[in-house]
């Protein structure tokens, strides 16, 4: 018999809705998550998630490090920590960013966050007044939209092309907003191997966006969860590395190069911004898990991170290649897709007129799932795109999944022509 | 040479303040935290903190569990988890609360949070509109005030006595608010071994507050981080255990009975409240560390929690006794203090006219620190009280610390009489 809770959901006299804040009444479960629940526990090949492959987790190394932490650092690792983070970890990240990305900072420029998602929420909390203009790429990371949305900004999205955000259109928009007396609080960009589009902002545009930031006086939130996952092409420096003005807040994470289960992210930027973010973090979770921070410190400081990255790259590259090849082999004319040099995602655009949200159930019936593209737009204006993930399932399944997806799209095209 | 950051804090042309949200501009570093920084790295005996003693951390057990998790559950423990929490952990907590506290719930009544602090923030987010009346005990937990403050409630605090919140005064206030057309959103109570006062709400008052909640239609936030730490007296059931109406949201945590470094807390309540809290949590940190949740699951499910609690109690009891005896032995007439049956804190009230914040530096000069009491009042109206912690330092140091504190107070009394 199913456990009966004393809450007695059905018969409850309590009018629970009257207790919710206005903002809570507006909060809705993400439609995308609801759609994806259809896929759970089924034989559907899911290209929808955004998860790293568990095969890339350095399990043995974590086992060794954890034993060392228990043996030598238990009193510290198990205790409360400071809100800005465990100092040795902050120092290790500072050194690593210097070596890897030519970003020159000190530990006062850095706060540890409970994953990148907390970084996004803290940025919303510290910077956004209701009605403030926030600019993002079109499309952009859906959970960033969700985090910022709570703070009620006016969202503006600027299209991407193969070189990242269209700087010409951005400048046009900035002029237009200025003429309307509106100033922009920040531009949010996933500058390398973008989520969901997979594209990378060119060096030229990186420098241009910094100039615009200075000219129009806004800050840049540079989110870089995927930068280490490069399978082809040449390395590129983060925008932050050219930031002479303290205008860039850089978001990093270990979720893709260690494991998401530890929830370790960080924000690097001007100490005055970091200090305010720290005060905000005090009241939302006091501190990020010290235990996990000490493990992360040992992972970076012991050189394991640098050794692990090539292994992850080697594991994912064939999967990206398999997806690109399958798209080439199976997709009908009129379907376009991006060719990412790294990261986790490919953005597929079906012919105009196809609504990928409406098509979703048919795809699932054929045994494949994706994320319908409209969730990556604050105003849901693009209906015919979708995000595909290539890191989680095997090459064979990727090929089979793309074949099923191509079939679904072909049927939709056919139907739309009748 | 000190690392020069590229932010060039001193010379920076960026007017950083203009970017902050209005609410961020109002956020100030906690005065208490600033005061306590005076104490770091010194020979001062600090009775100020709220930390468990590291000697109570079950280090060996954590070592064993962690190895088992790495060996048998790595793929799951290192991956992203669901927002409401790791199901086996939720089930284990449900069973434990049933056995320990006669609280009858199912896993749908439970969400895992990143420590209790996140629970407080999520409750603020989901329930408080600006201007909503929120009632707390006077004094109350300062970080709860800080978490709720962001959402701009109207705070009302109701005095405590040795049986907990003064129900008569609460009822009077509820009537008064009703006559003003104001309704109360929730009453926040730390119902057992209160922070900072150490007192426990009597069973009679527990039932009375539930009746008032039903009569005046408010919800109760019952925060219980210390309930397991009982050194004398008889066990008492949480208010939640009598909650037939789904009006109580119960907050639990493993910070005091496993270790704070894992940041594992939870909220138990009506599934419709829990569901909204889950949606809110999605955008603030996606999920609580899965790794730590799997460890916590093994800790409870393996029976280690039940074995550890008596050990912690045995370790802390002599410290509480030592502090009570030292207060008896050293304090001058006119000083009063609570006699807690458990928890971590004693609340000391100096004679009227003594300002414990102004006295703080003198106490530090004598080699002892405490938390000045006014931080536990939203309107800072009580100046002559202080919170003392007895869990973190040894019995010898407690005795010496109280002796120093008594000297400081005596000098203040003397001075005030001249």
Lowest-pLDDT choice from A33-47, A187-201, A254-268, B239-253: A33-47
Residues of chain B positioned with their CB less than 8 A from the CB of A5: 104-106, 108-109, 271
Distance of alpha carbon B31 from alpha carbon B96, whole angstroms: 38
Average confidence score pLDDT of chain A: 94
Over residues B123-150, the pLDDT tens digits come to 999 999 999 999 999 999 999 999 999 9
Give the pLDDT of residue A101: 94
Share of chain A above pLDDT 70, in %: 96
Over residues B201-248, the pLDDT tens digits come to 999 999 999 999 999 999 999 999 999 999 999 999 999 999 999 999
Output the six-digit token pair for B418: 């001249």
B290-301 vs A290-301: helix crossing angle, rounded to 10: 130
> Is the pLDDT reported for residue B9 higher than 90?
no
Distance of alpha carbon A300 from alpha carbon B117, whole angstroms: 28
A287 close contact with B: CB closer than 8 A: yes
Give the pLDDT of residue B39: 80
Position A13 confidence tier, pLDDT thresholds 50, 70, 90: low
Over residues A285-295, the pLDDT tens digits come to 999 999 999 99
Q: What is the ipTM of this complex?
A: 0.95
What is the least distance, in Å, from the CA of B6 to any CA of chain A?
A: 6
> Is the pLDDT reported for residue B37 higher than 60?
yes
Q: What is the mean pLDDT of residues B19-46?
A: 85
> Is A66 within 8 Å of B67 when comparing Cβ atoms?
yes
A304-330 vs A290-301: helix crossing angle, rounded to 10: 90
∠ CA(A356), CA(A364), CA(B288), 5° rounding? Answer: 90
With contact defined as beta carbons under 8 Å apart, do A150 and A131 qualify?
no
Give the pLDDT of residue B237: 96
Position B89 confidence tier, pLDDT thresholds 50, 70, 90: very high
- Cα dihedral A78→A82→A85→A88 (10° resolution): -70
> Is the pLDDT reported for residue B15 higher than 90?
no
> Is B30 within 8 Å of A282 when comparing Cβ atoms?
yes
> Is A12 within 8 Å of B270 when comparing Cβ atoms?
yes
Residue of A78, A129, A255 with shortest CB distance to B22: A129
> Is the pLDDT reported for residue A8 higher than 50?
no
> Is A9 within 8 Å of B74 when comparing Cβ atoms?
no
Output the six-digit token pair for A312: 């992850």
Q: What is the mean pLDDT of residues A5-13?
A: 45
Output the six-digit token pair for B282: 């999605």
What is the least distance, in Å, from the CA of B382 to any CA of chain A?
A: 23
The DSSP call for residue A99 is H
Q: What is the mean pLDDT of residues A303-324?
A: 98
> Is the pLDDT reported for residue B324 higher than 50?
yes
Distances in Å between the Cα of A102 and the Cα atoms of A21, A112, A242, B67 are 45, 20, 9, 37
Give the pLDDT of residue A418: 66
Q: What is the mean pLDDT of residues A157-171?
A: 98
Over residues A78-115, the pLDDT tens digits come to 999 999 999 999 999 999 999 999 999 999 999 999 99
Give the pLDDT of residue B13: 60
Distance of alpha carbon A257 from alpha carbon A56, whole angstroms: 8
> Is A27 within 8 Å of B280 when comparing Cβ atoms?
yes
Give the pLDDT of residue A65: 98
> Is A284 within 8 Å of B117 when comparing Cβ atoms?
yes
Residue of A54, A115, A285 with shortest CB distance to B117: A285
DSSP 3-state of A369 = strand
Position A41 confidence tier, pLDDT thresholds 50, 70, 90: low
Give the pLDDT of residue A5: 45
With contact defined as beta carbons under 8 Å apart, do B122 and B368 qualify?
no
Over residues B246-263, the pLDDT tens digits come to 999 999 999 999 999 999
Lowest-pLDDT choice from A396-410, B23-37, B212-226: B23-37
B207 close contact with A: CB closer than 8 A: no
> Is B259 within 8 Å of A57 when comparing Cβ atoms?
no
> Is the pLDDT reported for residue A281 higher than 60?
yes
DSSP calls for B79-121: S---TT--HHHHHHHHHHHHHHH-----GGGEEEEEHHHHHHH
Q: Which residue of A has its CA nearest to B55?
A: A75
Give the pLDDT of residue A28: 86
Give the pLDDT of residue B417: 80
Q: What is the mean pLDDT of residues B262-269?
A: 98
B131 close contact with A: CB closer than 8 A: no
Average confidence score pLDDT of chain B: 94
> Is the pLDDT reported for residue A413 higher than 80?
yes
What is the least distance, in Å, from the CA of A2 to any CA of chain B?
A: 9
Domains in chain B with CATH codes = 18-57+307-417 (3.90.1150.10), 76-305 (3.40.640.10)
> Is the pLDDT reported for residue B35 higher than 90?
no
A125 close contact with B: CB closer than 8 A: yes
Give the pLDDT of residue B30: 80
| Cis previous bond, A196, omega within 30 | yes
Give the pLDDT of residue B5: 45
Interface with B, mutate which of A1, A5, A253, A271 (most B CBs under 10 A): A5
With contact defined as beta carbons under 8 Å apart, do B117 and A286 qualify?
yes
Residues of chain A positioned with their CB less than 8 A from the CB of B115: 285-286
Residues of chain B positioned with their CB less than 8 A from the CB of A257: none
Over residues A341-373, the pLDDT tens digits come to 999 999 999 999 999 999 999 999 999 999 999
> Is B244 within 8 Å of A30 when comparing Cβ atoms?
no
> Is the pLDDT reported for residue B341 higher than 60?
yes
Q: Which residue of A has its CA nearest to B20?
A: A127
Give the pLDDT of residue B418: 66
What strands, in cross-sheet order, belong to the sheet with B371-372? B336-337, B345-349, B385-389, B371-372
Residue of A67, A75, A132 with shortest CB distance to B63: A67
Position B364 confidence tier, pLDDT thresholds 50, 70, 90: very high
């Amino acid at each position: 018999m199913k456990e009966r809770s004393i809450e007695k959901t059905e018969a409850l006299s309590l009018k629970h809705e009257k207790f919710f804040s206005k903002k809570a009444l507006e909060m809705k479960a993400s439609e995308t998550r609801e759609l994806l629940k259809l896929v759970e526990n089924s034989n559907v090949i899911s290209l929808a998630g955004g998860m790293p492959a568990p095969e890339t987790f350095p399990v043995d190394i974590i086992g060794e490090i954890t034993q060392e932490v228990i043996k030598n650092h238990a009193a510290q690792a198990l205790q409360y920590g400071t809100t800005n983070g465990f100092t040795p970890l902050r120092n290790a990240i500072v050194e690593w960013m210097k070596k890897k990305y030519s970003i020159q900072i000190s530990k006062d420029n850095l706060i540890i966050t409970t994953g990148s998602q907390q970084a996004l929420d803290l940025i919303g909390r510290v910077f956004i007044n209701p009605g403030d203009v926030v600019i993002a790429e079109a499309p952009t990371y859906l959970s960033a939209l969700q985090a910022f949305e709570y703070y009620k900004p006016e969202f503006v999205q600027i299209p991407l092309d193969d070189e990242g955000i269209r700087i010409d259109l951005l400048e046009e928009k900035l002029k237009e907003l200025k003429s309307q007396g509106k100033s922009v609080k920040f531009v949010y960009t996933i500058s390398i191997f973008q989520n969901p589009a997979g594209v990378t902002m060119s060096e030229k545009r990186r420098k241009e966006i910094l100039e615009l930031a200075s000219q129009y006086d806004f800050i840049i939130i540079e989110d870089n969860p995927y930068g280490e996952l490069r399978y082809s092409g040449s390395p590129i420096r983060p925008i932050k590395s050219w930031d002479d003005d303290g205008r860039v807040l850089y978001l990093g994470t270990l979720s893709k190069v260690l494991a998401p289960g530890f929830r370790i992210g960080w924000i690097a930027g001007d100490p005055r911004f970091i200090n305010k973010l720290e005060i905000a973090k005090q009241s939302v979770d006091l501190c990020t898990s010290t235990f996990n921070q000490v493990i992360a410190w040992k992972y970076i400081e012991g050189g394991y991170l640098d050794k692990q990255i090539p292994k992850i790259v080697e594991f994912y590259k064939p999967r990206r290649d398999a997806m690109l090849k399958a798209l080439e082999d199976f997709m009908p004319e009129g379907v376009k897709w991006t060719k990412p040099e790294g990261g986790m995602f490919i953005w597929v655009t079906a012919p105009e007129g196809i609504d990928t949200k409406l098509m979703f159930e048919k795809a699932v019936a054929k045994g494949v799932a994706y994320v319908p593209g409209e969730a990556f737009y604050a105003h849901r204006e693009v209906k015919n795109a979708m995000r595909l993930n290539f890191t989680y399932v095997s090459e064979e399944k990727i090929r089979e999944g793309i074949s099923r997806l191509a079939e679904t799209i072909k049927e939709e095209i056919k139907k739309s022509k009748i």
